């Protein structure tokens, strides 16, 4: 981590940007107090492709395990009416 004053930051801005691109954190101060913190942009994804595939597989398995209401039970309309009658 580097800490530089505003005047030095203005004169060395390009060099400071290069440091940040290399992963360094740069703090810019005014009268000894930190006013700016420059951090590298995170370029790697937070979640991997393998994690995404695993999560999608779990979602598919969950959806397959959920059975829709049968028409013999009256379907969604009966469930809605039943739910409304309980709320009243």
- Give the pLDDT confidence score for residue 1 in this predicted structure: 86
- Give the pLDDT confidence score for residue 87 in this predicted structure: 52
- Give the pLDDT confidence score for residue 69 in this predicted structure: 57
Compute the distance between CA of residue 27 and CA of residue 1 in angstroms, rounded to an integer: 7
Compute the distance between CA of residue 52 and CA of residue 75 in angstroms, rounded to an integer: 34
CB neighbours of residue 59 within 10 Å: 10
Summarised one tens digit per residue, pLDDT across range 27-80 is 999 999 999 999 998 766 678 889 999 999 999 999 888 876 555 556 677 777
- Give the pLDDT confidence score for residue 61 in this predicted structure: 92
Show the domains of the chain with their CATH numbers.
1-65 (3.40.1620.10)
Average the pLDDT over 21-26 and give the result.
92
- Give the pLDDT confidence score for residue 73 in this predicted structure: 59
pLDDT tops 90 at residue 14: yes
- Give the pLDDT confidence score for residue 52 in this predicted structure: 92
């Amino acid at each position: 981590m580097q800490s530089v004053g505003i005047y030095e930051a203005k004169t060395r801005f390009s060099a400071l940007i290069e440091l940040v691109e290399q992963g360094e954190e740069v703090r810019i101060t005014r009268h000894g107090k930190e006013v700016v913190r420059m951090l590298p942009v995170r370029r790697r994804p937070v979640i991997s492709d393998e994690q995404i595939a695993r999560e999608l597989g779990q979602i598919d398995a969950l959806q397959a395990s959920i059975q829709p209401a049968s028409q013999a039970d009256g379907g969604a309309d009966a469930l809605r009416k039943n739910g409304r009658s309980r709320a009243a």
